Chains A and B, each alone.
Chain A
Amino acid sequence: MHRVPPSGGPIPYASASSIMVVLSFTLVLFLASGCSKEEINQALETAKSKTKSMTNSAVEAVEDTLPESGEVTLNLKPNPIAISNAELALMTIGDGRPNVVQITTYDPDASARSYPALLLHGITATSKASSLAGEKVPCDVYFQENESSPIAMTQPREAMTVTFRQYNPTDKALTATLGMISLRGSDGSVIEIEGGDVLAVIRTETN
């Protein structure tokens, strides 16, 4: 059972690299202090055991935190950014109009918005979030890097394609890849997004 996104991502990589650092650091410490071969072997075993336990706790930590927050990697030109929160809402109106898929990296109900802030808003015929996997949804993009930076959004007649990849029923999470899009800034600038990845936790599903 996959508890982490199948394609891997910044959080698993980050956890693995920190484990490697701990392992190397333990070995260096023992070698530097002039220990015997047995002592070194014992230390290695201890380190392995510690590493295993850290790996487990890291996975557990990922399991604990990932479904809580989700994540977006936005390949902004020239510097990609990671946003450590992503929630998906699938909203059905019920009067025959299309359903709404909404991905937010901030809490829409909070009085103050967290930055960078991203909203993806699109319509779909799909009425269940789990069925979105495999769907391509054209979405309006709204983005602001920080409170004082210009706001960027899709131009009229344009939309970013969000391709939903996989649904994780345990964590109620969806992965998706983002298409390329050129946004207009509120100051007249052009903001290029060269794709990205989303791991979004399904928060709301109204039917």
Chain B
Amino acid sequence: MFYFCQFIMATTLTRRIILASCTALLFFGGHTPSIANPTGKDPSQPLKTHGTIEGAEALANELHQTYLEELDVVTRMFETRNDPASFSDRQISKSAARLWKARRDAKHLELMSEPIGADLTRKLFLLAVQIDQFGLSYSRTPRGSQMMTTLIIRLRTDSPRFQKFLSQAASSLQKSSDPEVFTKQMEAKGMQMRESLVFFRPLEHKKYLFNFEALLTAGDVNHKKLRRTRYLAQANDKIKNEVASAAAATEEMKRICQELDQTGSATLDGNVKGDGTQAFAQVCKLWVRASANLTRANAIEWMVTNQTGNTKTNDITRLKKATLIAMTDIINSLAEKTATDQIPLIYTNLLRQISQVDRRTTGRKQVSEACTDALNELAKKNPALAKDIDAYTQATAEPLKWRNRFANEQAGYLSSQQASAEVLLNSKAPIDTSNRPNFARRRGGETLMVSKALNEPADWMIGETAKRLVGQSIKEDRLIRLGPNSRTGIIPFTNGHYANIALNLSPEKEIADLKVALLIDDEHHALSMAGMDAISSAEMQDYVSIGGTIQQVHLEALLTRFIAFPSAAMPLVLLGGLPQETTNLAPLEQTCWRLDIVPQWAHHRYFTVHSGDSKPQERKTAQTSK
């Protein structure tokens, strides 16, 4: 503990990175069943489960443990592969049986639509291949030959009993008995047979298995059908619940609007009465919450349909429409009921909220455009305000134009040495496989920097990708801060990845300078949408782009990311949209890479800021020349 404290106090940067990571973990890890996904630092972590189907998490954890134990066995045996006489026949038998069962369980996890199932299938297969090799090698040693003679005698002796078992199994299959019981009994027998058959050539297996495999396959077909129906029902229940929650949010928006219109206030979260601006904030919250509901429902649909086409697009559009109507209704109510002298305060409060939510929507100006007429009507109720808005807009238009152009050019200059995320992630680089288990190392060629498919064991993929990406310079677009007090910004999911940005920048002096240009002080707020967007995005640290260094890489499964999707992580998906697939691969196979980036600079719409900038000082003027 003491060392940990010393460590975190080492540097401000380190503290911020840790804080940001913890915040991110809190937001993204809070609702997910497993602890963490594999990272460059800890590649051996299993892929998270989304846990849509009951029992998936426990099964995944158990299988991951089996994998780790068997990986250790195989790695050790591979070291002495040239001396098969040193192998333990008991160990080979035990591993062969465990791996046979584990591979079947991994397939079960796949049926539960858990990406870790597919990952474990790949990993366990590789181990099983090695164990089979070791079994055959051992059988050819003098000790192994003796053992084979004993084994053959035993298999022949047991054959009548085994055939009786098979006959009972066939009858049970015909009677459509409980598939659970059938599978359990067949698996127990299968493991027993595997303990012996691992020492035989595959062609010889049939001789001792008779119709075991055919019966098992037939039983699996039945069982799979039953499980699939059960799992689909569970998944559909969850979809229904999510869609119902989203619909309830829409209804809640309508109720808030009605109550506000009738009474001038509305009952909000926690049974507290709120005014119009608070009602507006509540509608924004409900939009986020309902969008998260639909994002989850949409992703569960991916597992149901086994493709990543978005089926909830219409629901998302309807939700957006309902939200925009609620927003304009609230502004209209406010225009009707607010005392003239209170209108300026209400007006600027709404401008700030609208600018904030605008930056979190797909179209960027959809909310402000939808609210423009209602806002104009509100302003007209106070003629002096309407006049002030025009004058303010005119007085601040030119500095905003210049600052925007300056920031764009400066960002272009700053980013000239940095590859965009799209270019970097789609580039090719030599692969270093030296961290793979000894039985899987190969000469590395050039491969894509990140793979869109989970096509190799996740721990190898993350290790090899992190080796190439950590420390690389990268430019990302559209940073959205998780919340006003959060130290983490998000690059929304795009091109198969998203990013967590540790907000270590200090834009205080740029904000102070912008406030002077925008005539803003403690008593005077921005009166134009452009002005308010400028200052609210600056204070929120929502940036157009950032450039920085990749600090860590995480490998997530796309499906899990968006099923186990907390509402707080909503900036990952812009409001009014859904995550877009990047390949035609099955949902189970698609990756979602997460990059943790420490920024060196950020491009705000009206300034750029570099890491390590000092705190603001008094605005000073140079001496006049004349």
Using a CB–CB distance below 8 Å, which chain A residues touch chain B?
Answer: 75, 91-98, 100, 102, 104, 108, 119, 121, 123, 136, 138, 140, 142, 150-151, 153, 156-161, 163, 177-182, 186-188, 194-195, 204, 206
* In the complex, number of A-B residue pairs with CB atoms less than 8 Å apart: 124
CA distance A119 to B385 in the complex (A): 27
B386-412 near A? 1/0 per residue, CB < 8 Å: 011001101111110011011001100
- Let me know if B387 and A91 touch, CB within 8 A: no
The contact sample of 25 A-B pairs, CB cut-off 8 A, is A75-B625, A93-B391, A93-B395, A93-B527, A94-B387, A100-B519, A102-B395, A108-B397, A121-B517, A140-B517, A153-B402, A156-B607, A157-B618, A157-B619, A161-B622, A161-B623, A161-B624, A163-B624, A163-B626, A177-B625, A179-B624, A181-B622, A182-B622, A186-B409, A187-B409
Q: Which chain A residue lies CB-closest to B524?
A: A97
Knowing A151-B409, A187-B413, the reply to whether A157 touches B519 (Cβ < 8 A) is no
Count B interface residues, CB 8 Å: 43
A204–B624 alpha-carbon span in the complex (Å): 26
Q: Provide the bound-state CA to CA distance between A159 and B509, in Å.
A: 14
A63 to B260, CA, bound (A): 63
The complex places the Cα of A135 from the Cα of B436 at a distance, in Å, of 74
Q: How far apart sit A140 and B622, CA to CA, in the bound complex (Å)? A: 12
By secondary structure, the B interface counts as helix
Q: Chain B residues with Cβ under 8 A from A156's Cβ? A: 509-510, 512-513, 607, 616
Assess the B624–A123 pair: CB atoms within 8 A. no
Q: Which residues of A contact B621 (CB under 8 A)?
A: 138, 158-161, 179
> Chain B contacts of A91 at CB under 8 A?
391, 394-395
Interface centre among A136, A150, A151, A195 (most CB of B within 10 A): A151
Residues of A within 8 A of B398 (CB): 102, 104, 108, 119, 121, 142
Of the residues A93, A140, A153, A157, contact of B388 by C-beta under 8 Å: A93
Contacts of A142 in B (CB 8 A): 398-399, 402-403, 406
Q: Which residues of B lie under 8 Å from residue A123 when comparing CB positions?
A: 516, 519
- Please tell me if B620 contacts chain A, counting CB pairs below 8 Å: yes
Residue on A nearest B520 in the bound complex, by CB: A97
Give CA–CA (A108, B268) in the complex, Å: 46
Q: How far is the CB of A81 from chain B (nearest CB, A)?
A: 16
A19 smallest CB distance to B (angstroms): 29
- Are A179 and B623 in contact, CB atoms less than 8 angstroms apart? yes
Known: A94-B384, A180-B625, A186-B413. A138 touches B392 (CB 8 A): no
Shortest CB–CB separation between residue B528 and chain A, in angstroms? Answer: 11
Asked if residues A97 and B521 are in contact (CB atoms below 8 Å), the reply is yes
B79 interface residue per 8 A CB criterion: no
CA distance A123 to B406 in the complex (A): 21
- Give, as a whole number of angstroms, the nearest-CB distance from B351 to chain A: 14
> B54 interface residue, CB < 8 Å from A?
no
Is residue B489 contacting chain A, with contact meaning CB distance below 8 A? no
A residues in contact with B402, CB < 8 Å = 119, 142, 151, 153
Q: Report B545 CB to chain A, min CB distance, Å.
A: 15
**Contact present for B625 and A195 (CB under 8 Å):** yes
